[in-house]
A and B are shown apart, each in its own frame.
Chain A
Amino acid sequence: MNEEYEVRDFASTGGEVLLFTIDGVIYGIEIKYINEIIGYEDITIVPKVPSYIKGVINIRGQIVPIISVRKRFGKEEIPPDERTCIIVLEFEGSNQVGIIVDRVREVTTAKPADICATPQHRNVNANHYIKYIIEDDSGIKLLLNCEKLVLELEN
């Protein structure tokens, strides 16, 4: 219910979106989730968790789990280079999670007119990681559903 409301909210108001690329595709995350962007650093492995959780890092005394978006999307992982970034997201209850992305592009403002819904088809976007599609002059961006991406357990 809450989530639906939020979806409608963003579609009607638009807003700022941070763009990044993974495997050449441009994705976006609503700016409200983003705490900071840091360069890639060594990750401490936590055993016995799903493979897309790479481990934890220490951000100023906070221990933050790190998710590989590539792995989450079932893509091949690549060794980190100097453009690899960790985007630190914050959810309710100061619950922080970092996601590894290939590179961060820019912050753009999505206008309501440019936002379109995802197709409702069970084979497409089966995991609902995509919340919206933004299409403007510069191309197509996929707006990610952060809660689903990070918090939802894999079946």
Chain B
Amino acid sequence: MAKFDQGMESMVDTYIFETTSLLEQLDQILIRTESESTFGEDEINEIFRIMHTIKGSSAMMGLDNMSHLAHAVEDMFYIVREDKPVIKDTRTLYDLVFTASDLLKAEIDIVQDEDTPPTDFSEHMRRIRDYAAVLKGIVPEASERPAATEQYNSFDPDEMVEVTVVGDSMINALVTFDDDTSMANMRALLVVNNIRDKCDKLSFIPEDIESNADSAADILKNGFKVSFAPCAGVTKDDVINLISQTMCVKSCEILPSSDTKKVPAHTLTTVRVMFEPDCKMENLRAMMVVNNIHDDCELLAYYPENIETDQNTAQHIKTDGFIIRFKANIPDEEIFRTIGETPSVRSVDEVTLERSSADKKSTQSAADSNQASADAPQAGQVQSSQQPTGQQSAVKKHSDKKQSLISVNLSKLDQLLNMVGEIVIAEAMVTSNPDLRGLKLDNFQKAARQLRKLNSEMQDIVMSIRMVPISGAFNKMTRIVRDMKVKLGKDVDLVFEGEETEVDKSIIDSLNDPLMHMVRNSMDHGIEEDPQDRINAGKPAKGKITLSAYSSSGEVVIIVSDDGAGMDPQKLLTKAEKNGILTKPRSEYSDKEAMNLIMLPGFSTNEKVTEFSGRGVGMDVVKQNIEKLGGTVSVDSKPGQGTSFIVKIPLSLSIVDGMEVSVGNSIFTIPINYIKESFKLKPNQLLTDTDGHDMIMIRGECFPLIRLYELYGLEGAQENLYEGIIILAEADGKSACLLADGLMGEQQVVIKPFSPLLNNFGVKQNGMSGCSILGDGSITIILDISNIITDM
């Protein structure tokens, strides 16, 4: 059973990623404020916000234990924020929050591990609540606690110490082979070889399989025991699978690993940790020490043992110190240093083990001194001997469950994309270099093709890095619909289609607002007030809003549609007439034009202004935002059947395959996906209508002719239709023929936006979407075919 709610699997990566970064943020704030030992208002709010977010998202994932812990911390900071108590004991506060943060992090690490049960945080929560009560002034500051009676001043080197095995990245598996397997030892060796490079540490019993043929019988009888620690990025299941797939392996089962074992005391390093005299809550500090060194130790034991649960141990630690016994993966000095660096630690003394004597050798005195003494290990201790790879295993074990996402600053990705763009240009500069013209260079062409292929692959990868599924933007709408459902008392289903469609990140970010406006609009105006109206119209009582997305030829199409009452063009026109926003006689408006009136500023069909809409700014904003992205938005509606908003946005903003055409002295680029064909005109193809407009007949279909030189007022262009080249272009279901002087060749171009100065003069409205630099450094203007064709 997974720990999180079903249906949330897809969110797990994001959740882990977000929560981890929030906790990191939290730690940074804590570390910063701790060194300054002041909490600013901003920091408190920030911590409050972080905890609130973690609480919310954990609850959403169904991870109640984490949610409750975050809630406790949040409550504590609520007191800090609202009551502004004079915090005497900031140490405890920091410790509590740090510990909470550590606990949450640890829980995140195991959140995907279905075998580990959710950790119970109630103990720490109780401590937080106790402290919160202190802050509130309900309970007086913790007073002196009864002293412990036990003495820990003598140490017997032969005493058997029960230690926790920490570095237990080792997983034990019992491999059994088919009964009739011959040379089972060799099979076992095969198993070992198969998993060797997936494992950091590997040991097996019997050990002499390679040299001792007799081990075969033993293996058949008792099985073959393998202990391994998987490398980072390899799960234990991967390894088990590998083992199971080896020939003749009958089964491979994981043996429970023992958490504790008894070892003679003299094999461990023993230290006594003393804390600052007035630091309070020594038991928690001791816990922090343990946590700090935990990962670097293979074996670990400490006295008093129940520091986490028993507050009375604090007093004991205060008087007698905190005893830690460990066997480390790293040099003991490093452990000493880690302990010494833990806040409030006054001294770390290594204890020499002698029968009934308490000879202490001081190796380090000041906690703030980061220097570990070089002569720390003393006679009487057995230095732990490990395999060379063992040192990192503890660290690697933790990276196993880490999310595989990293956060990258978007501006860096923008730079990367720009750089790729420059490379595309540079490639063109080399491969279509004027100096090469007329030369026959077979090898060069081959190399150039290879370069081009690699470049385009790189482009695809860079693009795909920036692509995110649109579901993120869609999911945000769920909430809006839910809230509005309650407020408006309308029963509506929100349905997603094609939410896995991927869109450039920068587009998604600017898509949220327009989407929200459109969904609100559909909720508010689209769906009928009264369910009875719907039933009368032959529709189910429950309304439906559909968000759908798909990509088609370099564009993403996003449709927000409702099955509501729809819009009546005549009503819209009446309204628009009243508001005085009609620009031509009413009778000249087509239905489609009438629909698009709702995009004009100041137009609202709603009689009254509600919380959600009616001020007449919504759709206007949608249109502006979408156009900023280089997209278009249109409305389609049938009275009684519903309304659709259709948004089209370029899939990627930057690189297109283009055909360069010359017109006079200018070079224009037509994106290749708009071009259907190009040809020389034959006299029998040309028609002229009564208004003198030329039309071209192709295979029984008639297309209007656009002369580019005429459209852009260019001089020196080929005006003879039969001398120039005709390009048949199609966009938005409309086609037209364009007249140009000639085709210059096909090339990938990087769209560079026009400077703001030029945008002021409406170059976009005139069918130019941007410009680009060609291989020879000259500039080409990229035509926006759909704009040219629809504006005709």
- Residues on A lying within 8 angstroms of B by beta carbon are 44-50, 53, 56-58, 61, 63-65, 93, 95-97, 150-151, 153
Instruction: Flag if B761 contacts A53 (CB, 8 Å).
Output: yes
Complex Cα distance, B755 from A93, in Å, reads 11
Residues of B close to A61: CB separation below 8 A:
422, 425, 773
Complex Cα distance, B756 from A56, in Å, reads 12
Instruction: Flag if A58 contacts B757 (CB, 8 Å).
Output: no
Count B interface residues, CB 8 Å: 27
Centre residue among B665, B712, B761 by max chain A CB count within 10 A? B761
With contacts A47-B713, A57-B779 taken as known, whether A63 is within 8 angstroms of B773 at the C-beta atoms is yes
With contacts A58-B779, A151-B757 taken as known, whether A45 is within 8 angstroms of B773 at the C-beta atoms is no
Q: Could you count the A-B residue pairs with CB atoms below 8 Å apart for me: how many are there?
A: 71
Complex Cα distance, B555 from A17, in Å, reads 49
Instruction: Flag if A45 contacts B665 (CB, 8 Å).
Output: yes
Instruction: Flag if A53 contacts B763 (CB, 8 Å).
Output: no
Residues of B close to A58: CB separation below 8 A:
773, 777-779
Which of A47, A57, A95 contacts B757 (CB under 8 A)? A95
Shortest distance from the beta carbon of B522 to any chain A beta carbon, whole Å: 36
Which of A44, A48, A50, A96 contacts B755 (CB under 8 A)? A96
Instruction: Flag if B761 contacts A48 (CB, 8 Å).
Output: yes
Instruction: Flag if A44 contacts B666 (CB, 8 Å).
Output: yes
11 other A-B residue contacts (CB within 8 Å) besides A44-B779, A65-B754, A93-B756? A44-B778, A47-B768, A56-B755, A56-B758, A58-B773, A58-B777, A61-B425, A63-B754, A64-B755, A95-B755, A151-B757
Complex Cα distance, B758 from A127, in Å, reads 20
Instruction: Flag if A46 contacts B755 (CB, 8 Å).
Output: no
Residues of B close to A65: CB separation below 8 A:
754-755, 757-758
Residues of A close to B760: CB separation below 8 A:
151, 153
Complex Cα distance, B758 from A56, in Å, reads 10
Instruction: Flag if B713 contacts A46 (CB, 8 Å).
Output: no
With contacts A44-B781, A47-B766, A95-B756 taken as known, whether A63 is within 8 angstroms of B771 at the C-beta atoms is yes
8 Å CB interface, B623-652 against A:
none
Complex Cα distance, B758 from A45, in Å, reads 12
- Interface residue B714 (Cβ < 8 Å from any Cβ of A): yes
Complex Cα distance, B761 from A49, in Å, reads 6
B713's closest neighbor in chain A, by CB?
Answer: A47
With contacts A65-B755, A95-B756, A97-B755 taken as known, whether A56 is within 8 angstroms of B771 at the C-beta atoms is yes
A97's closest neighbor in chain B, by CB?
Answer: B757
- Interface residue B752 (Cβ < 8 Å from any Cβ of A): yes
Complex Cα distance, B666 from A53, in Å, reads 16
Instruction: Flag if B777 contacts A46 (CB, 8 Å).
Output: no
Shortest distance from the beta carbon of B774 to any chain A beta carbon, whole Å: 9
Complex Cα distance, B760 from A153, in Å, reads 8
Residues of B close to A150: CB separation below 8 A:
757
Instruction: Show 14 A/B contacts (Cβ-Cβ < 8 Å), sorted by A.
Output: A46-B758, A46-B781, A47-B712, A47-B713, A49-B758, A53-B758, A58-B773, A58-B779, A61-B773, A64-B755, A65-B754, A65-B758, A95-B755, A151-B760
Complex Cα distance, B754 from A97, in Å, reads 12
Residues of A close to B425: CB separation below 8 A:
61
Residues of B close to A97: CB separation below 8 A:
755, 757
Centre residue among B758, B768, B771 by max chain A CB count within 10 A? B758
Chain B 713-731, CB-CB to A under 8 Å as 1, else 0, gives: 1100000000000000000
Instruction: Flag if A56 contacts B763 (CB, 8 Å).
Output: no
Centre residue among A47, A49, A97, A150 by max chain B CB count within 10 A? A47
Complex Cα distance, B782 from A63, in Å, reads 13
Residues of A close to B714: CB separation below 8 A:
45, 47
Complex Cα distance, B759 from A56, in Å, reads 13
Complex Cα distance, B755 from A65, in Å, reads 7
With contacts A61-B425, A63-B779 taken as known, whether A48 is within 8 angstroms of B757 at the C-beta atoms is no
Instruction: Flag if B781 contacts A49 (CB, 8 Å).
Output: no
A92's closest neighbor in chain B, by CB?
Answer: B756
Shortest distance from the beta carbon of B640 to any chain A beta carbon, whole Å: 43
Complex Cα distance, B391 from A34, in Å, reads 59
B711's closest neighbor in chain A, by CB?
Answer: A47
Complex Cα distance, B779 from A65, in Å, reads 12
Complex Cα distance, B268 from A119, in Å, reads 92
With contacts A57-B779, A58-B773, A61-B773 taken as known, whether A48 is within 8 angstroms of B763 at the C-beta atoms is yes
With contacts A44-B779, A58-B778, A61-B422 taken as known, whether A49 is within 8 angstroms of B763 at the C-beta atoms is yes
Centre residue among B711, B713, B755, B771 by max chain A CB count within 10 A? B755
Residues of A close to B763: CB separation below 8 A:
46, 48-49
Shortest distance from the beta carbon of A4 to any chain B beta carbon, whole Å: 23
Instruction: Flag if B666 contacts A45 (CB, 8 Å).
Output: yes
Residues of A close to B778: CB separation below 8 A:
44, 58
